[in-house]
Amino acid sequence: MRIMGLDYGSVTVGVAISDALLITAQGIETIRRKHETKLRQTLARIEELIKEYQVELIILGYPKNMNNTIGERAKKSEEFAEILKKRTGLEVILWDERLTTVAAHQALTLGNVKNQDRGQVVDKVAAVLILQGYLDFRSMQKEHSNDI
């Protein structure tokens, strides 16, 4: 089993995939589209990756506002989650992604990635952070349930 992490943006979707042991997340690619509402090719590519990596669960970044309210981007993520569920038949979990893009930019800065190159990979790195957060939470929950 593998899990897919997605960072859904207005014209890009960062994609990450877990390893088979569900321990680590690896960035796969950034899917780009010309317009926010043009999802056909984006969805087709996600389906190809699901088949290629034998994905059984999708974790979708959920960009809540800092005060925990739901804004326009979060609503668009909810809509995208419903589309993904219908299209793929997989469970889609919305995962709080607050500050993951900031963390991705910081990681790229620390890695000495040039400003002009960051735009090419920041969404993929954000997807890795989203998925890794979920994997760590899942692992912690599993350890905690074993302690009881």
Instruction: State the CATH number of the domain containing residue 11.
Output: 3.30.420.140
User: Is 51 a domain residue?
Assistant: yes
The pTM of the full predicted model, rounded to 2 decimals, is: 0.85
User: Is 31 a domain residue?
Assistant: yes
User: Is 80 a domain residue?
Assistant: no
One pLDDT digit (tens) per residue for the chain, 148 residues: 999 999 998 899 999 999 999 999 999 999 999 888 889 999 999 999 999 999 999 999 999 877 888 889 999 999 999 999 999 999 999 999 865 665 555 665 565 555 555 456 778 888 999 999 999 989 888 777 766 5
Q: Which run of H or of E encompasses 15?
A: strand 12-18
User: Is 79 a domain residue?
Assistant: no
Q: What is the reported pLDDT for 104?
A: 58
Q: What is the reported pLDDT for 116?
A: 55
User: CA 16 → CA 7, 58, 62, 111, distances in Å?
Assistant: 9, 10, 15, 19
User: CA 92 → CA 102, 121, 135, 143, 145, distances in Å?
Assistant: 24, 23, 14, 23, 23
User: Is 78 a domain residue?
Assistant: no
Cβ neighbours of residue 103 under 8 Å, at least 6 residues apart? 126, 129
Per the structure, the count of domains in the chain is 1
User: Is 100 a domain residue?
Assistant: yes
C-beta neighbour count of 61 within 10 angstroms: 31
User: Is 30 a domain residue?
Assistant: yes
Supply the range of the domain harboring residue 53: 2-73+88-147
Q: What is the reported pLDDT for 30?
A: 93
Q: Count of residues for the chain?
A: 148
User: Is 81 a domain residue?
Assistant: no
Give yes or no for a contact between 42 and 117, defined as CB atoms under 8 angstroms apart.
no
